[in-house]
């Protein structure tokens, strides 16, 4: 194949494995039985911890009890709740004997998801009753609907992760309690049955179903196998860099029920202690300063920084208030980050390195780049190396591979690729080709060295007149203005051009008394100088400028561009 085409294959550094994830955990428990594997803080900042030995034992005890109750390999089990020690133990327990686990966070059991799961014949529901009243009402209604049609040799099973049994909806099923099952599972004969069941789990068994965000329509059910989970951990180990500290200790605040969260629970098997904080606490400007105190007290070496945390850190200069010197690497992923935003983190943590990655629920992680402050240049900004075990190509019209330097849709082929969208063969066919390529939906460009750069999501393009505009192009310009802390550019409806450009700006704090309107007008005039009209007579300068205090985000911390667009339209008085 022409070496100038946008295709690259990076071989595995380490062999792939047929082992299941619980086998890797058990191996770690033999090596570090008394070392903390998982630390979880609740909203009251109360700390709970679990060692590797406890993770192994408790997940075995719970698995033995669930097996004895009638849950078995291949059956669908809904696991729903907030991030907690018990949630992690439940997930690992279900992996031990090959149950196909459906993950949801509190408030996630909407009616559309109930409809999508009805045909899966859910055999068991494991739930955390600690949730808001409205979430509890949603849970009760959804579980009653899911279990009402189940006709099996055994009754559906309910397990509460709370301290006592909790009734769910109108079902008259007995609700088992987590603590009781842990005690019950310590019986020797149940342990022997579990050991046999563990040997029957196969590498290609369906293991876990995670929901997509639904930002482009109905959420899809992403099916991963035991093999994809295990191979993802091999990749994680292969891409790790040495730390000054004895071991990596990673701060994390995404939900365990989300793809990245589920993967992070699994990553404990790579000798990493995970320190978990509630997602809503980390995203709320009124509460998220506390997470930096947790990073300090836990001596975290690694931390994924959402946009909300970056703004909190830089605006309040929290690196001067808390000792964050143990952070050796900060992680940016799940969305595009601007050069200015990354630079602002280096201003606070100059001796740390950054990790910038491209990942999806369907293909785990495809590309990554780790760099220091000195290596963050405009020329290299946003470029990532394809990770071991991945094939990547950039395609254009008719799915033909484009020449390097030409934008197109990125496709990946890897052993970590999802199996299917459950119950949605049409969507699976659109996303996966007959030869195993997955279309990510991102527009990328591959340079001569084989590195890729994301230009934007296909769905985020602004379609003005006959031109497709990448929001990132305009954001890069606006961010160069001295008054701009951050910006999100969206397209809003326009009668003449289909869409017009709107810049939603977070202004920097200043000591002068200029009105917001004056500052926005100055930014607009400056942008016109930077973006003179092109051949079509139109400037890339945004038509509208709005000042915002923050950007809306979902439960995973990503900036929600669709919600930002709706807010902009409402403030501008524009109808769809």
CATH code of the domain covering residue 466: 3.30.300.30
Sites in the chain below the pLDDT cut of 70: 1-3, 149-154, 165-171, 214-217, 334, 535, 554-557
Q: What's the gap between Cα 534 and its chain centre?
A: 38
* Of residues 297, 472, 301, 299, the one with CA closest to residue 382: 472
Helix (H) or strand (E) run with residue 224 in it: strand 221-225
Q: Are residues 197 and 242 in the same domain?
A: no
Q: Is residue 75 part of a domain?
A: yes
Tokens 């524009």 belong to 574
Count how many residues are written for the chain. 576
Q: Are residues 494 and 522 in the same domain?
A: yes
Q: Is residue 263 part of a domain?
A: no
Q: Are residues 135 and 241 in the same domain?
A: no
432 DSSP assignment: B
Q: Is residue 1 part of a domain?
A: no
Q: Are residues 424 and 513 in the same domain?
A: no
Helix (H) or strand (E) run with residue 117 in it: helix 111-117
Q: Are residues 181 and 244 in the same domain?
A: no
CATH number at residue 156: 3.40.50.12780
Q: Are residues 234 and 221 in the same domain?
A: no
Q: Are residues 235 and 213 in the same domain?
A: no
Q: Are residues 234 and 148 in the same domain?
A: no
Strands (E), 381-466: 383-386, 390-395, 408-414, 420-421, 438-446, 452-457, 462-464
Q: Is residue 2 part of a domain?
A: no
Q: pLDDT tens digit string along 539-576?
A: 889 999 999 998 988 666 678 888 999 999 999 998 87
Q: Is residue 444 part of a domain?
A: yes
d(CA 460, CA 394): 18
The domain tally of the chain equals: 3
Question: What is the number of other CB atoms lying within 10 angstroms of the CB of residue 149?
Answer: 10
Q: Is residue 284 part of a domain?
A: yes
Q: Are residues 171 and 27 in the same domain?
A: yes
CB 294 within 8 A of CB 301: no
Q: Is residue 262 part of a domain?
A: no
Q: Are residues 169 and 253 in the same domain?
A: no
Q: Are residues 137 and 47 in the same domain?
A: yes
Give residue 543's domain range. 462-572
CB 363 within 8 A of CB 417: yes
d(CA 224, CA 63): 20
| Residue 397 confidence (pLDDT) | 85
Q: Taking the model in full, what pTM does it have? A: 0.85
Q: What's the gap between Cα 494 and its chain centre?
A: 33
Question: What are the phi and psi torsion angles at 61 (to 5°)?
Answer: -60, -45
End residue of a domain, out of 457, 482, 515: 457
End residue of a domain, out of 393, 422, 457: 457
| Residue 380 confidence (pLDDT) | 86
| Residue 488 confidence (pLDDT) | 93
| Residue 272 confidence (pLDDT) | 96
Q: Are residues 214 and 247 in the same domain?
A: no
Q: Is residue 493 part of a domain?
A: yes
């Amino acid at each position: 194949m022409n070496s100038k085409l946008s295709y690259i294959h990076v071989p595995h550094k380490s062999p792939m494995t047929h082992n299941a994830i619980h086998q890797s955990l058990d191996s770690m428990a033999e090596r570090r039985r008394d070392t903390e594997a998982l630390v979880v803080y609740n909203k009251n900042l109360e700390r709970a911890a679990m060692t590797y030995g406890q993770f192994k034992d408790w997940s075995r005890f719970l698995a033995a009890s669930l097996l004895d109750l009638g849950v078995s390999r291949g059956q669908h089990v809904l696991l729903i709740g907030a991030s907690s020690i018990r949630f992690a133990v439940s997930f690992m327990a279900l992996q031990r004997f090959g149950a196909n686990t459906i993950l949801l966070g509190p408030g996630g059991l909407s009616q559309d998801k109930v409809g999508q799961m009805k045909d899966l014949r859910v055999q068991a529901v494991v739930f955390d009753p600690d949730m808001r009243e409205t979430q509890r009402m949603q849970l009760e209604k959804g579980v009653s609907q899911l279990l009402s049609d189940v006709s099996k040799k055994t009754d559906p099973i309910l397990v509460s992760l709370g301290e006592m049994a909790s009734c769910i909806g109108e079902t008259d099923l007995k609700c088992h309690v987590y603590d009781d099952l842990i005690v019950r599972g310590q019986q020797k004969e149940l342990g022997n049955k579990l050991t046999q069941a563990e040997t029957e789990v196969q590498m290609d068994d369906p293991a876990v179903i995670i929901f997509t965000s639904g930002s482009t329509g109905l959420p899809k059910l992403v099916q991963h196998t035991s093999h994809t989970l295990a191979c993802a951990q091999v990749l994680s180990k292969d891409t790790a860099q040495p730390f000054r500290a004895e071991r990596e200790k990673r701060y994390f605040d995404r939900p365990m029920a989300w793809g990245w969260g589920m993967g992070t629970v699994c990553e404990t098997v790579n000798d990493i202690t995970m320190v978990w904080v509630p997602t809503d606490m980390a995203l709320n400007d009124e509460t998220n300063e506390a997470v930096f105190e947790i990073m300090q007290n836990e001596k975290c070496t690694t931390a994924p920084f959402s946009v909300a945390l970056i703004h909190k850190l830089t605006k309040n200069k929290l690196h001067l208030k808390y000792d964050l010197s143990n952070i050796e690497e900060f992680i940016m992923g799940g969305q595009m980050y601007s050069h200015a935003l990354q630079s602002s983190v280096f201003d606070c943590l100059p001796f740390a390195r950054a990790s910038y990655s491209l990942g999806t629920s369907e293909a785990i992680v495809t590309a990554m780049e780790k760099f220091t402050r000195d290596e963050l240049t405009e020329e290299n900004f946003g470029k990532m190396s394809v990770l071991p075990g991945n094939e990547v190509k950039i395609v254009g019209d008719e799915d033909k591979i484009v020449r390097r330097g030409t934008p197109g849709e990125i496709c990946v082929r890897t052993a970590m690729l999802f199996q299917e969208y459950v119950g949605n063969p049409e969507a699976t066919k659109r996303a996966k080709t007959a030869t195993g390529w997955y279309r990510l939906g991102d527009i990328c460009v591959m340079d001569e060295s084989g590195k890729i750069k994301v230009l934007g999501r296909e769905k985020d393009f602004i379609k003005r007149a006959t031109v497709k505009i990448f929001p990132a192009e305009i954001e890069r310009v606006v961010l160069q203005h001295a008054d701009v802390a951050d910006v999100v550019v969206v397209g809003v409806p326009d009668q003449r051009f289909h869409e017009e450009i709107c810049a939603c700006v977070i202004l920097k704090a200043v000591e002068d008394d200029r009105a917001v309107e004056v500052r926005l007008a100055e930014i607009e005039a400056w942008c016109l100088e930077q973006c003179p009209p092109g051949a079509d007579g139109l400037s890339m300068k945004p038509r509208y400028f709005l000042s915002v205090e923050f950007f809306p985000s979902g439960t995973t911390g990503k900036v929600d561009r669709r919600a930002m667009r709706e807010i902009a339209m409402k403030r501008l008085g524009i109808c769809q």
